[in-house]
Structure 1
Amino acid sequence: MAPPPKDYWFHLKYWALIIPAAYVVSFIYSFGPVMGIGRKMVDYNVDTCEKISGPTDFNFCEDVVLSNVSGVAYTTCDPERHLFNKVMGHHFLEEGQKAKSSDFWRVNYVEVPASIEKFTINKEFDSTSDFHPLGITFDINPETNEQILASVNLAHYGDASIEFFTVDDESLTLTHKRTVRDAKIYNPNSIHIINDVRLRADDGTPSFFFTNDHYFTSGFLKKIENYFLYLSNVGFYNARTGKVEKGINGLLFANGITGTDEFLFVAETYAGTIKKYDIQITFVDDVPQVNLNYVKEAFFYMAVDNLRYVAEKDLVVVAGHPKGIDALIFMMVKDKVNAVKPPSQVDVWDVESGETKTLLVDNGELFTTSTTGLIDLVNSKLIVSSLFDEGLLICDL
């Protein structure tokens, strides 16, 4: 049989171009909406917003939670995250240089001017050594009324952990309660506590869900995992047994997590989705068994970050990066002072109706790299935190 003519349509030399081109088109189609490719950012609802700042180390406050006191929020700030971003694997420390450890803050955002105060952590926990918090949450024991702040700690030179502190709001003191460290908690990002007293340890430490945002802990594979490998997961720490149990596998950059004792919401950053799961708790020989069942999901035109659930309205507040590509470039630049600031966005998902809407868009000039949005219904405020900006953004609703 005679060979096909050289201009035959499926000649290998053409497929050598067609296959890569098809892959690029597929990538842009899948990630274009999340990366914000070609999207023009226009400010929306920022006229009532004010950025509150204070001491020089009150910046890069990635997560924020409401307290049980009206108008008061708690936040953690990692003021040298620009030098060492463990989640994304960007390190700019000089040889022998060590990043400063981080702190907890109490912010009364309804006072004028806002009151910004740093917590003192008791000497049982050396917060000056290698403490670099990320996701945080607040819990009140329904039996003892003990108030607890729990935080992810992405230690730079050791294993990650979840740290628990009891809160004395009047004296601005945190007392270290417990460290949870496990080989299965290797890239923790966000945590969600189960409030049920039946799932607490004898000392009151609660059980909790957590996200591992990556499977790989460093290197090239960690970077490409963001877009191509569904390897991140949700785990469950059973405080009754002291063991970590399986939650959900096969997620793409699992990030923020929120919910109640009945259901859980999980953010997949570069998929642009929030997924809802029912939590099923059963008891076998008085030991709790927890399972998650997928319910539904919602898509957002941004790289979604942290989540907060508003039970009174059945809303999930979603903060993120509407131009994900700009946020990635900004993270890779050492000189962030003179770099172009990526925009911020906060959306909400009405879970019952399935509708989503945008609450806030800022082009980056006022507030960049938004990570968490909180709705305070009592004071009609929106509180926004950031990966790489000063303080917090406070807006009227």
Structure 2
Amino acid sequence: MASARLPSAVVTVLISLIALLLYNRGGPLSRLYLNAPSRLPRENNLSQPSIKFSNTVRNCEDVILDVEEGFALLSCDPSRDVWNTVMGTFIDPTSSPSTGIYIWHYSTPDTEPEQVKLLDFSRRSQEFHPLGIEYHAPSNTLFIINHSPSGPTVELFRFYPSERAATHITTLRHPRLATPNSLAVLSSTEFLVTNDHYFHRRFNPFFALLETYLAFRGGSVIHVKLHPNIADGIKAASNLMQLPFANGIAHLNASTIAVASSSMNTVYLYSITQPASEDSPPYLEQLSSISLPFHPDNLSVDGSGKLLIAGHPHGPTLEKVAKSNRFCHSGVAEEREKCFTEGLSWVAEWSEVEGVKTLYVGDEYGTSTTAVRDVGRGVGVVTGLYAEGVYVWRD
């Protein structure tokens, strides 16, 4: 009996789709081979680097600097080992007592990070899993993305740096804030937020992984407008654009926004145009893109205007760390044997004049997510998703 054959038109379509996939994904997918731990070239161009505060903070995903006051705010969640809605870990949603926001006065010698007291925030002990953070210094407003087991939120606080305390203002929820990851504040009542996926890994794990590795344009950038009294919550939330695995977002300058696509190994630059009407969202138009040899995570811009990009060289290795990191801190010897410690990091900087320059590639400090730098004081900080302490360098 003759074997069945696909119609030629179907074969043509399939070949075209595969060719398109390889064209769009060839570079990023090649890093699955080139950036494997045994092949990854190590490089360290940081001055006086050291791991600090490994006994104080752990699993810090984001860090922001207030260079005027000389302090850093760290978003840390040791319970990320057993609850990570981005990486697909859903074992125990209960927060660790050391989960929270930490303030470090890096401008003062011999100081360590201290946990910020979150006042009037009753949900903290059970449902606080901070990820991206932003701080609007003129209004002392702290924005925190919370991956709560009851659903993602953005928590707003009034922050008092000298008292190392923050008073809860309101909890923001909206259908458009489905998988929030990173924030860029425009004012005390307006911000941009990325959704990293369309498919939530908790509810659609298979499709979420397909979305990641096939680079479906399921991620988004959302513009959120609050009521003048921010305690009243969201006035409007608008979808400005779609892109694969939208991750870090930052102001490159007053008229340009940078957005990281982890799936595409690319940072996209967009002009941001304010609308004629206060009730309309701003408009984003792509200007250019920055290709990278790794998966970018969070973004920041230093005082010299350089874009700092931290991320992950090898996706499967990060997945392995995410699944095993809880064993590294177990009190059971048999479980500690399952610990996998080869977390990988890649930190780079970009400027229009110099292009992309590697600052650090290695495993001494693994799972890098954010890099920030105070140019005036010559201090830089890298945080790691599953790392003990922070990586500090001094120029």
Q: Do the two structures share a fold, i.e. TM-score over 0.5? A: yes
1:324 and 1:36 map into 2 onto residues whose CA distance is 11
- 1:382 is matched with 380
2:54 and 2:160 map into 1 onto residues whose CA distance is 22
Residue among 305, 311, 333 paired with 1:314: 305
2:390 and 2:208 map into 1 onto residues whose CA distance is 30
Structure 1 residue 335 displacement after superposition = 4.9
- 1:128 is matched with 125
**Conserved 8 A contact 1:283-1:289:** no
Q: CA 1:59–1:36 in 2, change beyond 3 Å: closer, same or farther? A: farther
- 2:28 is matched with 31
1:335 and 1:27 map into 2 onto residues whose CA distance is 35
- 1:222 is matched with 208
Structure 1 residue 388 displacement after superposition = 0.2
- 2:357 is matched with 357
Structure 1 residue 288 displacement after superposition = 4.6
Q: Decide which moves more: 98-107 or 379-388.
A: 98-107
2:123 and 2:47 map into 1 onto residues whose CA distance is 42
- 2:333 is matched with none
Specify every segment of 5 or more residues in structure 1 that has no aligned partner in the other structure, as ranges: 196-204
| TM-score, normalisation: structure 1 | 0.83
Q: CA 1:353–1:124 in 2, change beyond 3 Å: closer, same or farther? A: same
The alignment partner of 2:275 has SS state of strand
Residue among 104, 107, 116 paired with 2:101: 104
Residue among 298, 310, 327 paired with 2:318: 327
Residue among 160, 163, 168 paired with 1:171: 163
1:149-160 pair list within 5 angstroms = 149-156=142-149, 158-160=150-152
The alignment partner of 2:209 has SS state of helix
- 2:231 is matched with none
**Conserved 8 A contact 1:373-1:385:** yes
Choose between structure 1 and 2: higher helix proportion.
2
Q: Could you report, residue by residue, the CA deviation over 1:147-190 in whole angstroms, capped at 9, with x for unpaired residues?
A: 1211101102x121111111111111101122221011010000
- 1:119 is matched with 116
The alignment partner of 2:184 has SS state of strand
- 2:335 is matched with none
The alignment partner of 2:113 has SS state of strand
**Conserved 8 A contact 1:227-1:252:** no
Q: Could you report, residue by residue, the CA deviation over 1:57-90 in whole angstroms, capped at 9, with x for unpaired residues?
A: x210100000254431001111110111111212
Task: Name the amino acid aligned to 2:245.
Answer: F
1:18-167 pair list within 5 angstroms = 29-35=26-32, 37=34, 39-45=39-45, 48-53=48-53, 55=55, 58-93=57-92, 98-100=94-96, 102-141=99-138, 146-156=139-149, 158-167=150-159
The alignment partner of 2:151 has SS state of coil
- 1:340 is matched with 341
Q: Could you report, residue by residue, the CA deviation over 1:330-352 in whole angstroms, capped at 9, with x for unpaired residues?
A: 223355523132221210110x3
Specify every segment of 5 or more residues in structure 2 that has no aligned partner in the other structure, as ranges: 228-233, 329-338
Could you say what the CA RMSD is over the residues aligned between the two structures, in angstroms? 3.0
Q: CA 1:46–1:315 in 2, change beyond 3 Å: closer, same or farther? A: closer
**Conserved 8 A contact 1:119-1:172:** yes
1:180 and 1:24 map into 2 onto residues whose CA distance is 37
Structure 1 residue 191 displacement after superposition = 0.6
Q: CA 1:279–1:33 in 2, change beyond 3 Å: closer, same or farther? A: same
Task: Name the amino acid aligned to 1:377.
Answer: V
The alignment partner of 1:115 has SS state of coil
Task: Name the amino acid aligned to 1:62.
Answer: E
Q: Could you report, residue by residue, the CA deviation over 1:94-148 in whole angstroms, capped at 9, with x for unpaired residues?
A: xxx734363111112344433221111112453213010100111123xxxx212
**Conserved 8 A contact 2:25-2:264:** no
Structure 1 residue 298 displacement after superposition = 0.4
User: Percent sequence identity over matched residues?
Assistant: 24
The alignment partner of 1:59 has SS state of coil
Q: Decide which moves more: 65-74 or 128-137.
A: 65-74
- 2:273 aligned with 1:280: yes
| TM-score, normalisation: structure 2 | 0.83
Q: CA 1:92–1:334 in 2, change beyond 3 Å: closer, same or farther? A: farther
**Conserved 8 A contact 1:36-1:302:** no
Task: Name the amino acid aligned to 1:238.
Answer: K
- 1:201 is matched with none
**Conserved 8 A contact 2:317-2:343:** yes
The alignment partner of 1:342 has SS state of coil
1:130 and 1:137 map into 2 onto residues whose CA distance is 20
**Conserved 8 A contact 1:88-1:223:** no
Structure 1 residue 302 displacement after superposition = 0.5
Q: CA 1:46–1:293 in 2, change beyond 3 Å: closer, same or farther? A: closer
**Conserved 8 A contact 1:67-1:73:** yes
Q: CA 1:148–1:37 in 2, change beyond 3 Å: closer, same or farther? A: same
1:249-268 pair list within 5 angstroms = 249=242, 251-259=243-251, 260-268=253-261
Number of matched residues?
A: 363
1:261 and 1:128 map into 2 onto residues whose CA distance is 38
Task: Name the amino acid aligned to 1:375.
Answer: R
Q: CA 1:255–1:20 in 2, change beyond 3 Å: closer, same or farther? A: closer
Task: Name the amino acid aligned to 1:371.
Answer: T
2:246 and 2:47 map into 1 onto residues whose CA distance is 32
- 1:300 is matched with 292
Structure 1 residue 43 displacement after superposition = 3.5
- 2:240 aligned with 1:239: no
- 1:373 is matched with 371
